[in-house]
């Protein structure tokens, strides 16, 4: 048995699609480096173990009632998880520590759990933290208190266009929108989460130096901890899906029949939703664009009826002629497909990074949390996408799609997106920044005393 097989890592993902995916990818990356993996997970959205036969999965029991176990109000869910999971997590972790399996070298916890580091310390285990968002957005969340003190938060409608010089080029409208009736409780949990990261044995990020170098270098100055940007995780090697919904693979054979770079892929992730009139406007915009489209209409993603048959007739004709709708797509494969030339996204961090890694320009429609920050960086800093400003309107949607897919005007955006794909690929190659950072992470973990 080599040194690493004898080292077990316990990973504790947050029960949200955009958090489970990168944690399982990280587990695979570390397993490929020889570490044994145990996943502790909540009952809510428990991952399917079958695609990961080499990992041990253990449920902690989250104590959430049926009405509480939902991602429809994400802020409330995070607060509930932090209130309910500490005790069962501690019990489970102590069982793992005293088990006959390989000794637990380290806990890798999702940053959304504010209690994880303290609990692990009591159990005699070192903690590293995985932040599933970008480095830039992390700095903004860590600056929440300052943003409140300086009057940027809560967001005032009269100040939406004001710049936020502390985080250029953000404007007030780009700051994370957090809807909660309990702002003080939210701030306390957020603060504990940030402090937990500061006191941890290191921070792992799903990003890469060439993408977020300025934010990473500020983070290193501001935090007395080691930071490991080892992304994009999903490109580090083959990784199995962690999807909660079944992936509809028929869209891949449909894509096979489309011309290169002709299709706009539309998906707003696992939580965001639109109302019925927005649903209809999206459909009309797709129809007006005259381009082929692949649209993910996730169950529950329309507040109201999501019946496609009720959409306007001109859309139904376009769907028949050059469109495809699925409930859930194999997104990595879709974005890597030669037919896909643009991604209309809500700019969740995973989707944003997946698009950047495949060189697919984005149409940005951020909804909440860090999505506005990500979208602003996509359009104004990396300049690999366009914003759908001022609400949804069919003509503007069609214009944005055509700009990215066919118009000369979109050429520079397409070129920059292709350059980022190169950068994402080269950071993972031997000697690349993420490759080296991963070496550093593995050695860092091996340096922990058992």
Which residues are at the interface with ligand UDP (CB under 6 A)?
Answer: 16-18, 21, 243, 267, 269-272, 296, 328-329, 331, 348-351, 354
> Which of 246, 314 has the CB closer to ligand UDP?
246
> Which of 341, 348 has the CB closer to ligand UDP?
348
The H or E element that residue 374 is part of is helix 371-376
Measured from the CB of residue 230, what is the shortest distance to ligand UDP in angstroms? 16
Measured from the CB of residue 346, what is the shortest distance to ligand UDP in angstroms? 6
> Which of 272, 445 has the CB closer to ligand UDP?
272
E strand spans, 276-331 = 293-296, 302-303, 323-326
Taking alpha carbons only, the member of 265, 418, 236, 258 closest to residue 333 is 265
List, edge to edge, every strand of the sheet that includes 263-267: 323-326, 293-296, 263-267, 340-345, 362-364, 385-387
Measured from the CB of residue 326, what is the shortest distance to ligand UDP in angstroms? 7
> Which of 298, 403 has the CB closer to ligand UDP?
298
Measured from the CB of residue 224, what is the shortest distance to ligand UDP in angstroms? 28
Q: What is the DSSP letter of 328?
A: S
Measured from the CB of residue 328, what is the shortest distance to ligand UDP in angstroms? 4
> Which of 238, 313 has the CB closer to ligand UDP?
238
Helix (H, G, I), strand (E, B) or coil at 382: coil
DSSP string, 207-271: --HHHHHHHHHHHHHH-SS-EEE---GGGSS------SSPP-THHHHHHHTSPTT-EEEEE-TTT
> Which of 384, 445 has the CB closer to ligand UDP?
384
- The backbone torsions φ and ψ at residue 39, rounded to the nearest 5 degrees and listed phi first, read -105, 120
Q: How many angstroms separate the CA atoms of 176 and 372, rounded?
A: 6
List, edge to edge, every strand of the sheet that includes 227-229: 56-59, 36-41, 8-12, 104-110, 127-131, 203-205, 227-229
> Which of 93, 255 has the CB closer to ligand UDP?
255
> Which of 206, 262 has the CB closer to ligand UDP?
206
Measured from the CB of residue 81, what is the shortest distance to ligand UDP in angstroms? 15
Q: How many angstroms separate the CA atoms of 364 and 375, rounded?
A: 6
> Which of 104, 264 has the CB closer to ligand UDP?
264
Q: How many angstroms separate the CA atoms of 404 and 362, rounded?
A: 8
Measured from the CB of residue 369, what is the shortest distance to ligand UDP in angstroms? 8
Where helices occur in 323-368 by DSSP H, the ranges are 331-336, 349-357
Say if residues 413 and 385 touch (Cβ distance below 8 Å): yes
The H or E element that residue 285 is part of is helix 276-289
Residues in the chain: 450
Measured from the CB of residue 176, what is the shortest distance to ligand UDP in angstroms? 13
Measured from the CB of residue 350, what is the shortest distance to ligand UDP in angstroms? 3
């Amino acid at each position: 048995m080599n040194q690493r097989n004898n080292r077990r890592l316990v990973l504790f993902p947050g029960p949200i699609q955009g958090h489970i995916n990168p944690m399982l990818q990280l587990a695979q990356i570390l397993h490929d480096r020889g570490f044994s993996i145990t996943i502790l997970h909540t009952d809510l959205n428990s991952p399917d173990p079958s695609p990961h036969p080499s990992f041990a999965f253990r449920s902690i029991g989250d104590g959430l009632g049926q009405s509480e176990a939902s991602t429809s109000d994400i802020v409330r869910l995070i607060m509930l998880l932090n209130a309910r999971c500490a005790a069962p997590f501690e019990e489970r972790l102590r069982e793992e520590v005293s088990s006959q399996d390989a000794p637990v070298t380290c806990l890798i916890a999702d940053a959304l759990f504010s209690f994880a580091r303290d609990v692990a310390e009591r159990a005699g285990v070192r903690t590293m933290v995985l932040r599933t968002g970008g480095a830039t957005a992390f700095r903004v969340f860590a600056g929440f208190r300052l943003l409140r003190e300086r009057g940027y938060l809560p967001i005032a409608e009269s100040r939406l266009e004001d710049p936020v010089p502390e985080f250029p080029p953000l404007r007030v409208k780009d700051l994370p929108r957090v809807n909660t009736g309990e702002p003080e409780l939210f701030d306390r949990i957020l603060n504990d989460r940030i402090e937990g990261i500061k006191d941890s044995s290191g921070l792992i990020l799903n990003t890469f130096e060439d993408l977020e170098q300025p934010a990473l270098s500020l983070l290193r100055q501001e935090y007395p901890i080691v930071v490991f940007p080892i992304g994009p995780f999903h490109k580090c090697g083959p990784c199995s899906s962690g999807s909660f919904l079944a992936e509809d693979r028929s869209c891949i054979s449909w894509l096979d029949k489309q011309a290169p770079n002709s299709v706009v892929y539309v998906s707003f992730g696992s939580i965001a939703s639109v109302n019925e009139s927005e649903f209809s406007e999206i459909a009309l915009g797709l129809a007006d664009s005259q381009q082929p489209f692949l649209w993910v209409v996730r169950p529950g993603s329309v507040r109201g009826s999501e019946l496609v048959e009720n959409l306007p007739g001109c859309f139904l004709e376009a769907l028949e002629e050059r469109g495809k709708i699925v409930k859930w797509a194999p997104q990595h494969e879709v974005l890597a497909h030669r037919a896909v030339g643009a991604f209309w996204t809500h700019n969740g961090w995973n989707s944003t990074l997946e698009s950047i890694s495949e060189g697919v320009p984005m149409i940005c429609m951020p909804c909440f949390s860090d999505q506005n920050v990500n979208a602003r960086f996509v359009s104004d800093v990396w300049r690999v996408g366009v914003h759908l400003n001022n609400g949804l309107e069919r003509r503007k949607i069609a214009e944005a799609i055509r700009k990215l897919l066919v118009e000369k005007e979109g050429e520079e955006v397409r070129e920059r997106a292709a350059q980022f794909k190169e950068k994402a690929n080269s950071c993972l190659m031997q000697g690349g920044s993420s490759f080296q950072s991963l070496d550093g992470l593995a050695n860092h973990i091996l340096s922990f005393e058992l």
